[in-house]
Amino acid sequence: MKDYFEQTGPTMTFEIFPPKGSGNLASIFATVDALASLSPDLISVTYGAGGTSRENTVEIASQIQNNYTIPALAHLTCAGNSKAEIDNVLKTLSKNGIKNILALRGDIAEGETLSDFRYASDLIKYIRSGYDFKIFAACYPEKHIEAYSMDQDLCSLKNKVDCGVDVLISQLFFDNELFYEFRDKGREMGIKIPIVAGIMPITSQ
């Protein structure tokens, strides 16, 4: 998948949001049916805060990968999860043929104390050390909310990339110039991996 993003020409990907708990997956797969007809290059599947939709993420990603033969990108957040829980998810994803993971810290619940993984970079390093996944990570053209400055954010991003990231996917943005400036500054700092723009299509007038 990394090699694909290094090719020239446009790519088209979609993102699926699993229902929490034992929500109805039939509507999700009806949506996937419609998206599959557009021949996307990849479909990503989100992962609820603290793993609230963990089982659904694994199930949906596995179906997309194996039944629709579309590359699936499973999101994985480490906030609220122990190493044992992360290992369980990673082993299940690998067993089901998932090859791509978007490694994220995730939102921290009020009063929650992080233990095994404090940052996305910790999760990335852990996955890289023991598993054979293509690792995607997030980046922020408009700056991460917790960063003091864009320079600090880019330094943190470079550290994250050096932990073993293959592809970066940006958070949503609505000003192309901000993305280009961010990308160029990243290149100047030595971030050479593909940076994919995350966009939200306008669906109303």
Q: Which residues belong to the active site? A: 15
| C-alpha pair distances (Å), 79 with each of 67, 90, 108, 117, 149 | 30, 15, 6, 7, 23
Phi, psi of 131 (to 5 degrees): -135, 160
Contact call for residues 103 and 124 (beta carbons, < 8 A):
yes
| CA pseudo-torsion sign 19, 204, 12, 151 | negative
CA distance 68 to 34: 11
Exposure b/e, 27-37, CB count within 10 A at least 16 = b: ebbeebeebbe
CB atoms near residue 100 (< 10 Å): 21
Contact call for residues 85 and 47 (beta carbons, < 8 A):
no
